[in-house]
Amino acid sequence: MNKIIKKDQFSEKVFCLEVEAPLIAHSCKAGQFIILRVDKHSERVPYTIAKADDEKGTLTLVVQEVGLSSTKLCNLNEGDYVQDIVGPLGNASEIKKFGTVVCAGGGIGIAAILPILTALHDAGNRVISVLAGRTKNLIIMEDDVRKESDEVIIMTDDGSYGEKGVVTAGVEKVIQSEHVDRILAIGPPVMMKFTSLLAKKYNIPNYVSLNTIMVDGTGMCGACRLTIGGKTKFVCIDGPEFDGDLVNWDEMFKRMGTFKNVERKEMEHYEEHVYPTPQPGQDVK
């Protein structure tokens, strides 16, 4: 079992958890992920690694409540334990000196892109990070990103922080002001698609992380099967990063909705168990 050392709340449904996992913290690389089970009855869920502290033997995970498993995990507190963590899994990001790299992170994708931009910066690249969210409170881990970036641009849909606009506006602003050698985007699929299309417009190599459709994390379930460059790939074992120009985005969006009905029913069952409907005459506490 793995102990939760620290828990912070970033926004209404987004939490940051620091969990003991010394072997994984020692061996993981930027871009890899882990599989976590909250308890012995829980499903196996993949989570990207935001930070790994080899000295403390801990992993930092940013989790958004979107279904049963993530809700159960976010309901745990410091000192509680999760059943088990397996990893590191997936292929590490390609890290070398490219030149100027734009790293675009949207929502909790900012946490996933943090270790990659850190590694790219350590490799001698000029790193320009573009962080995006619907509103100010959805811009997470800004201080961590600033420490490892040469420049940071913040975009919010409502203009409550940084500049008003979507992530592609910030990325294009950089492209038009200086030479860019590579673009990496991690966030909601629609954000990654349009960032990739923008990069293609300017003939800039671009990569995206498709971790949002992973389920089993080992290639056994086939839920993350996707057409990349005309060939069938599994995101969890062949990725999670791919050349954005080669991704079949229409297929990606279809995959996103595969388990929505199942997740909704499981969440309803959980809520009925945890928050049962009061019977007539019963006090509600």
Same domain flag for 84 and 123: no
Tokens read off for 168: 């592609």
Same domain flag for 47 and 81: yes
Q: What is the mean pLDDT of residues 217-236?
A: 87
Same domain flag for 228 and 198: no
Closest CA to 51 of 137, 110, 138: 110
Which of 34, 68, 89 finishes a domain? 89
Q: Among residues of the chain, what percentage have pLDDT more than 90?
A: 76
H/E segment holding residue 172: helix 167-177
Same domain flag for 195 and 218: no
Tally of domains within the chain: 3
pTM for the model stands at 0.86
Residue 276 forms part of a structural domain: no
In sequence order, what are the residues at sequence separation of 6 or more whose Cβ sits closer than 8 angstroms to the Cβ of residue 263?
66, 67, 68
Q: Which domain holds residue 249?
A: 210-258
Which of 62, 89, 116 finishes a domain? 89
What type of residue sits at position 98?
F
Q: What is the mean pLDDT of residues 135-154?
A: 95
In sequence order, what are the residues at sequence separation of 6 or more whose Cβ sits closer than 8 angstroms to the Cβ of residue 35?
44, 45, 46, 47, 85, 86, 87, 89, 217, 218
Same domain flag for 73 and 121: no
Provide the pLDDT for residue 220: 81
**63 CB-side CA count, 13 A:** 28
Same domain flag for 139 and 230: no
Which of 136-145, 224-233, 257-266 is least confident? Answer: 257-266
In order of 21, 84, 165, 183, 206, the CA distances from 203 in angstroms are 41, 43, 23, 11, 9
Residue 95 forms part of a structural domain: no
Does residue 283 have a pLDDT over 60? Answer: no
Residue 68 forms part of a structural domain: yes
Q: If you count DSSP H runs as helices and E runs as strands, how many of each does the chain have, helices first?
A: 9, 17
Same domain flag for 196 and 106: yes
Instruction: Give me the phi and psi of 270, to 5 degrees please.
Output: -65, -45
Same domain flag for 36 and 81: yes
Does residue 270 have a pLDDT over 60? Answer: no
Residue 105 forms part of a structural domain: yes
